[in-house]
Amino acid sequence: MAKVTLITHTPDPERTIAAAAKLCYSPAEISDVMEKLTPEKTTDFIEMLSGLGHQSPVEHAVFTFGIEGVSRTLLAQITRHRIASYSVQSQRYVRENDFQYVLPPQIEADPEAKAEFLAAMEESIEHYRRITEILKKKRTEEFMAEGMEPKAAARKAEKIAIEDARFVLPNACDTKMIVTMNARSLMNFFRLRCCNRAQWEIRDVADQMLALCLSVAPTLFGKSGPPCVAGVCPEGKMTCGLMTEVREKYRRMKEESHE
């Protein structure tokens, strides 16, 4: 299943944001703004920003995550969040010999569905191998006929072969990526993807990302999570109806970040 790590982040993110916010309202030099920001004043500024809805200073804090053990389905969803940077393991350059895949819990819980799913994965693997070898053999022969050395011809042919063979790979095929977002984008991401109505895989990733953010910036992300954590559910008749349980879940998560 998904594994998320916090690779790096803006040093002292809350103080950095507080300094940016304070500068907006102060005639002081930047060095003075930083020096006078005690932990207590930093917390006060972060809470004030939250109350005012002044979000542009929040963009000065940046967080970089490693995400692995996720499907290409998740990749299609997460990259819809445009204010972010993504580096993804390429199926064009990395051969997927015995690719790993994500098994959805609902399928895993049903023996008949699981058997069909596993058979489909094995079939995809075999088709991928065969297509790769067919294309590789043909292109290798062509390159050698042009005078290329056998090893060099085989290497070049394989790169071209897997570029097209990857089209047979399923959405379940796993991938890994490095993702960077600023704190304001993260808050929007958590608002959308921590919601019970979000798809289960990206919701799991979002929860892991939020827990990591809380570990280094608990005040900044203190109200983060789905909309119902800090207000009413905006989903109307589409609501999950579990607001009490959801609020308790994120309350516990935030308490654990202080331990």
Q: Give catalytic residue positions.
A: 193
Give the strand pairing for 174-182 and 85-88.
Answer: antiparallel
Long-range contacts formed by 103-112: CB under 8 A, 24+ apart: 103/172, 104/172, 104/200, 104/201, 105/200
Q: d(Cα 161, Cα 128) in Å, to the nearest integer?
A: 10
Burial (CB count within 10 angstroms: exposed 0-12, middle 13-18, buried 19+), residue 66: middle
Backbone angles phi, psi at 4, to 5 degrees: -120, 135
Q: Are 177 and 86 in contact (CB under 8 A)?
A: yes
Backbone angles phi, psi at 50, to 5 degrees: -60, -45
Q: d(Cα 34, Cα 30) in Å, to the nearest integer?
A: 6
